[in-house]
Amino acid sequence: MPQGKIPCEHHVVVPDLEMATLVEAPNGVKREGKHYYSMEMATLVEAPNGVKREGKHYYSMWQTLFEIDTKYVPIKPIGRGGYGVVCSSINRETNEKVAIKKINNVFENCVDALRTLRELKPLGHIRHENVIALKDVMMPT
User: Residue 4: inside a domain, yes or no?
Assistant: no
Quote the pLDDT of residue 10. 40
Task: Give the DSSP per-residue string, 119-140.
Answer: HHHHHTT--BTTBPPP------
102 marked among binding-site residues: yes
**Cβ(65)–Cβ(45) below 8 Å:** yes
Quote the pLDDT of residue 16. 46
Is the pTM here over 0.75, yes or no? no
User: Residue 71: inside a domain, yes or no?
Assistant: yes
User: Residue 134: inside a domain, yes or no?
Assistant: no
Give tens-digit pLDDT for 66-107. Answer: 999 999 999 988 888 877 889 999 999 999 999 999 888 888
Amino acid at 14: V
Quote the pLDDT of residue 15. 41
User: Residue 78: inside a domain, yes or no?
Assistant: yes
CATH number at residue 44: 3.30.200
Provide the domain count of the chain. Answer: 1
User: Residue 133: inside a domain, yes or no?
Assistant: no
By residue range, what is the domain housing residue 22?
17-104
Quote the pLDDT of residue 120. 85
Quote the pLDDT of residue 21. 60
User: Residue 96: inside a domain, yes or no?
Assistant: yes
User: Residue 56: inside a domain, yes or no?
Assistant: yes
User: Residue 111: inside a domain, yes or no?
Assistant: no
What is the Cα–Cα distance from 60 to 109, expressed in whole angstroms?
Answer: 25
Q: Which residues of the chain have pLDDT under 70?
A: 1-22, 35-39, 141
